[in-house]
Structure formats: structure tokens, C-alpha cells
Structure 1
Amino acid sequence: MKILHLTKKYYPMIGGDAYTVNSLKKQQIRIGHTVYILTSNCDEIARDEKVFKFGLKDNSANLDKITLQRLISLTFLFFWGFSKLRKLKPDIIHSHSADMGFFISFAARFYGIPLVNTCHGISFDDKQYFFLKRLAENFFLRYSGFKKIIVVDKSGLEILEKAGIKKGIYVPNGVDIHKFERKPGEKSDGKTSFLFVGRLEKQKGLEYLIQAAKFLKGKNDFEIIIVGDGEEAENLKKTATEFGVDYIIKFTGKLSEHSLIEQYTGCDIFVLPSLWEGLPLTLLEAAAAGLPIIVTDVGGISSVFTHGENALLVKARNSRELAGKMQELMSDKELQKTLSTSARKLAEKYSWENSAKQLENIYTDV
């Protein structure tokens, strides 16, 4: 089967959609499929003979925004579809961005190529998102002619059904559990190391993690390692300095895959204070590394993670509660061990092999 994935972000960019598409590509090639990638015209994205770029040159920070530059690029995608799909002749187009899916849908329908879409997070029902963004997403999901709309967390199915959008189907993300396997003696000693991995954006709620560090400083020997980059990086560093916790918090920036795995396997506790989410891949990676997890109860997280069993769930935007759970885990090594063991068992249920097989069945059906 010849598969064309559409994605705003792609390897080696940071982001769940970028990592997901790259992981699926590798697995689908192993199965025997031919896989092409169509993505944004960003210097951060590696190009090869099966990775195409479209539109105006842009940067990763602008790809999730509605800008004139982005709209012009999407118009280019409309024409790219008619000029390239006839030559490429994919059997299936798998969009990972509803707007990209909409703009290529005209050519896809003209050439009779089925189109499916994965929602890596749904925003149209969440008033935290800008109104125009929510309106656009709702429109694209309804009128792009998607044969199936794939969600990565079960709460997404409820959101689609409530909105009267049919064709929803649940396929969770996967994780390479062997890659993140912790080896004996790798666990850090001395001070407790908290780890965050992700884009440094408002969505991730890192200001509340910094506030929690302020509440805890002087009471415990701990550090917070923040891995990733984004448009909030400088603001977060400034906030850490203003709160007097810049000596506690280490900003690593973007790391290589090898260095990232070293952080997962070398730290003690994973913390994700997001304001909204679907099912973040970083949570599955942390679980695969056997890290005790503290995470906000948003999106589809509680449909996978259970408070007190394989994670500690806290309210979003509540730095006091977050600090309390961080203190609780630092003080209770048995609870750390319980959460670690359960998280690892949970991660073992997820794999890219399973995700790829489920998607293959969907492709065949449509």
C-alpha cells in the first residue's frame, strides 16, 4: 500500500504529531508499505526523497497559529494536491492536521483517493482556544470528506459524538518500550530530579510548575529539568529568576534522542502540568521509563491514567496542589515504587506495532 501522511510538523521537530508520524512511518515501512510525508516548509524539518515540503518558508512556532503566511501556504497545498497526487498515486492519504486535510481533500476526491484524519487533540469544544481556531477546526472536520476521524484518546470520541460529527474511531498512540527501559543502577541518587519534556508553550502550564518550585524551595533537595524549546522559553526563564528558583530549574533546550532517553532513565519523577491535552506521547514515554508521574487531569488523560494507581492526577492551574503532590512523592519512596511499576505495566499495553496494525485495518476498510 502507498501511504501519504500530511503533517504540519515532522522529524526532527519537537511535538507529538511530528514524533507520531515519524514512528508510524518506520513501522509501516517495516510492514511493507511505501510511505511519503508532506509537511511544512521549515528549515527544522529534514528532507529526503520521500519527504515533500509545501508553501511559504515558516518556523515551528507559527504552525499552530492562524496567520496570513499559513493561509497562503494552505492555498499552495490546494494546488499541490492537483499537480502531485496524479503522479504520486497514493492508495490512502492520512492527514494529521484538519486544515491540511481540508485543503487537499478537493484533489483527493477528484482522484478518488480516500482520506482519513487523526486528531492529536481536539480544540473546538474548549473555550481556552481562540474562537476562530475552534470554528475552523469544527468546519474542517465536518466538510473535508474524511472517511474516518481518528482520535488518540477516548474522550475525543465523546466530543465528536456530542458535536454530531460521525466516523470517529479510537486508535491510541504507541511507544517504544524497549527504548526507554531503565537499567539497574541508572536511577539518580541524592536530590530528587523532576523531569518535564515538551514544547515550552502556554498549553503546558509550566508557570504553575515554577510556582510550585517556589513553594517547595528550602524544604527539600530537588531539581526540575525542563527539556524542550518554544516561544515561552525566555518568559519561563525570567519567571524562574523572579521567583528565586533559577538555581533549582534547569532548561536544557532541545535534546538529541540519546540525551533525551538519558533524562528519562536518569530522573526520578515525571511531571506534566498541562492546561489541556489529548494523550501526550511524553506520558507514555515516561511510563515506559518506569517514572512515577504527576499530571494534570485534563483531556483524555484520566481515561488512561488512574489516580493513585499509575499516576497522581492534579487539577490544572493549581500550583499549590501540584507542589503538594511533588512533596508527597519526594517523601514516600514506596508510593514512588508503586507508581513506577504500574506505569511500566501500562506502557507495555501500547506499541507502535499495534497502532500501525489498527491503522492498516482502517485504511483497508475505507
Structure 2
Amino acid sequence: MKIVIPIFGFGPAGGSRVLSQLANHWIMQKHEVIFICYKGSTAPYYPTNAEIYYFDNNGNLSTNNDTLYKRPIFGILKLRKILEKVLNNFDCDIILANHSLTADPVSRSINKAKKFYYIQAYEPDFYHGLSIKNFILKRITINSYNLQNLNLVVNSEMYFNYNEIKAKRYVPPGLDLKIFSPNLNETKSDKVILGTIGRKEKHKGTSYIIEAFKILREKFGNKIELHIAFGDKIFENIEGIKVFHPNGDLNLAKFYKSLNVYICAQTIQLQAIHYPIIECMACKVPVITTGYYPSNKFNSFLIPIENVNAIIDKAEVFMHTNINEINKIKEIAFNDILEFDWSNVSKKMINYFKE
């Protein structure tokens, strides 16, 4: 099959990684995969073996991007019309939209290819505030879930009947289990290393983790540290916090494996799949988490949302749990994430394309 994935830009977000990996595995399965991307985008953050065509403000295609290329007046709204025009004339079997902003151009295009919309999150939750921009983007997103000629595929079963989303096809994000693999060279240390991903958005929960750590640091002194990946360097002004910027999946896996336990304190869409959780489970790093599939009371240390005291209590529970029990939890978690192997995930999507 010839599969086209239209996007407006490559980036470091988890959704971009999913697309690159799906493309790579489909190519290994002898399918042809092409990204159609806006000319002003950066090069792919996550390597892909797919072909890439960049469209300019006139809808012309080339193989070169230009990060200094100026967007047209009315920005993304105009680009959606240009993308629709590009798709009208592009020969392919499958068109896969991956974002609310590309769903409408895919739906409106007169291309006769089968059209799919892969939903990796409920996007309206991310548009906070009362700005006109947020209002428009939120409305576009909500409308995208009701486009009649798109076959919806969600990345978590929680979205089968979630607000405006009504879907029956499910393909989870995948994992490279050769990279995110158990640490075979664990070293003993007198320090307990907590870890998390640093994000500014309140719903990401980083602020709750930092507040909890301050209290834990007062109690345990230099026997406990908090390591934050991708956090702001200003966090290091707090005693006991170190900030890291792992480049690429290999270094991200190395970061996880350096931890004694990973903490996730996100507050929304708790039944969804959250990459750091499944990546840590694949590395056999225990997780303290507010939820996220496949976390449960047998494979994780669960906490309620927006609760600093719960994070403190569960961190102490972890520190006082014997190693045999910790190993049992890690083993259950590892077995629970084997379904996310990229080979299985990519074939599941192809089977939907063949329906």
C-alpha cells in the first residue's frame, strides 16, 4: 500500500515519534510511506525512512524544507486549505490524519484514498484560557471528531466513547523494546533517585512532585535526589534537584535506568497511555503514578491527582518496601507492556487499513 501522512511540522512530541516509528515499520513490511509536510518545518526529530515532500504556500511540492520560510497570512487556517489542494492530486491508497488541524483537509480533499484519523489524545483539554486563538482551535478540534468520512482510530480504549469521540478501532503507541529494556547493570547506591519529566503545564503535575520532594529532602537530606529530564535549569536552584536533557531514545532510556523510581503526577485523561510510564515499565523501573494504562495496584504505586502528601507518602512506602516485593512489581509491569512492541502495533494499524 501507498500510505500518506500529512502534517504541518515535525517535532519532539511523543505523537511525532509514533508516526516516525509506524512509518519505519510499515516500510519494513514493504509498504510505501510518504510524509507531506509544510516547507517551514524543521527536519524530523525522530528519524524516519519514509519519503518526505514539503509543500509551500502555493501548494507546490519539493524535497527541501526551509525553517525561515514565512507562513501565509491567516497562518494555519490558510495552510489547511493549501494542504487540501495538495492532497486532492496525490496518488495513494491511504491518507492518515494525526491531528485535528490535518483532519479537516484530509476529510475535504477529493482524493479517493481510504481516509483515517489517528487520535492520540483528547486535544480540547489542552486549550486553556479565554483567548480567541484557543477558542478557535478548541472548536476545530471538537469538530474534527465528527467528520463523517474519516475512519477514527484511537490510541487508548478510554477514547472509544469519550466526549465527542466515538470510535471502535484501537492502536496503542509502540515501544522499541531493544532500547527501552531492563537494566542489566544495576549498581547499588546509598541514595534514592526519584525521577520525572519536567513540564510547565499545570496538568503535567511537575509542580506537585517538586513540592513533595522539598519535604522529602528535608526529612532524608542528601540520601534522596530528584532528577528531572527536560526541565528548566532553574529547578537546580532547589537543593537536591538535577536537570538532564537526554538527546534521543537511547539517552532517554539511560536516564530512566539511572532512577530508583519514576513519578508521574499528571492530572487529566488518566486511562490514556503515557509514554514515560510504559517506557519505565519496559526498563523495569518502578513507577509512582496517578494512573495511565496499564498502571494498576499490582504493577505500580498509585496516587490521587493534585496531592503533594500522597506523593510523599508513596515515595516513603516505596523506600520501605523490600527488594523482593519491588522486583515482583517490576516483573508484572514488564509483562504488561509487551503488547506495545512496535511490530505488533504497526501490523494492527495495517489490518485496519485493509478492512
TM-score tier, shorter chain, comes to 0.7 to 0.9
Alignment of 1:284-323 (within 5 A): 284-297=278-291, 301=292, 303-307=293-297, 309-323=298-312
Aligned to 2:332: 342
Give, in whole Å, the separation in 2 of the partners of 1:295 and 1:180: 19
Change (3 A) 1:343 1:349: same
CA distance in 2, matches of 1:52, 1:169: 29
CA contact (8 A) 1:180 1:265 kept: no
May I ask how many residue pairs the two structures share in their alignment?
A: 332
SS in 2 for 1:150: strand
Cα displacement string for residues 88-121 of structure 1 (whole angstroms, at most 9, x for unaligned residues): 41211111102211123222xx121221111111
Partners of 1:228 and 1:255 within 8 A in 2: no
TM-score by length of structure 2 reads: 0.83
Partners of 2:17 and 2:73 lie apart in 1 by 22
Within the candidate set 152, 156, 167, 1:153 is matched to: 156
Structure 1: which 5+ runs fail to align?
60-67
Query: In 1, are the aligned partners of 2:282 and 2:337 still within 8 Å (CA)?
Result: yes
SS at match of 2:161: helix
Correspondence for 2:352 = 362
Q: Name the structure, 1 or 2, with higher relative contact order (CA <8 Å, separation 6+).
A: 1
SS in 2 for 1:219: helix
Q: Distance in 1 between matches of 2:276 and 2:53?
A: 27
> Residue 225 of structure 1: which of 206, 218, 227 is its match?
227
Q: Secondary structure at the match of 1:359?
A: helix
The equivalent of 2:41 in structure 1 is: 42
Q: Quick one: distance in 2 between partners of 1:36 and 1:127?
A: 28
Question: Cα deviation per residue 1:120-176 (whole Å; 9 max; x = unaligned)?
Answer: 11144x598457244332111112631x2111111111315xx4x544322212212
Is 1:82 equivalent to 2:82 in the alignment?
A: no
Structure 2: distance between partners of 1:198 and 1:55: 35
Q: Does 1:263 align with 2:255?
A: yes
The letter of the residue matching 1:51 is: I
Residue 83 of structure 2 aligns to a residue in which SS? helix
TM-score scaled to structure 1, two decimals? 0.80
Structure whose residues are more often helix by fraction: 1
State the Cα deviation string for residues 235-293 of structure 1 (Å, max 9, x = none): xx36x64xxxx231111135233322211222211111112243112211111001111
| Equivalent residue, structure 2, for 1:136 | 140
Structure 2: unaligned runs, 5 residues or longer:
58-64
- Report the Cα distance in structure 1 between the residues aligned to 2:204 and 2:92, rounded to whole angstroms: 36
Aligned counterpart, 1:51: 52
Paired position in structure 1 for 2:20 = 22
- 1:77–1:100 CA contact under 8 A, matched in 2: yes
Aligned residues: CA RMSD:
2.9
> In the alignment, what sits opposite 2:318?
329
Instruction: Give deviations 1:150-207, integer Å, cap 9, x for gaps.
Output: 11111111315xx4x5443222122122222224333452211122236553331100
The aligned runs of 1:205-244 (5 Å cut-off) are 205-220=205-220, 221-228=223-230, 233=232, 237=234, 241=237
Whole-Å separation in 1 of the counterparts to 2:37 and 2:188:
39
SS in 2 for 1:118: strand
Aligned to 1:169: 169
My pick for the range that moved more, 335-344 or 317-326, is 335-344
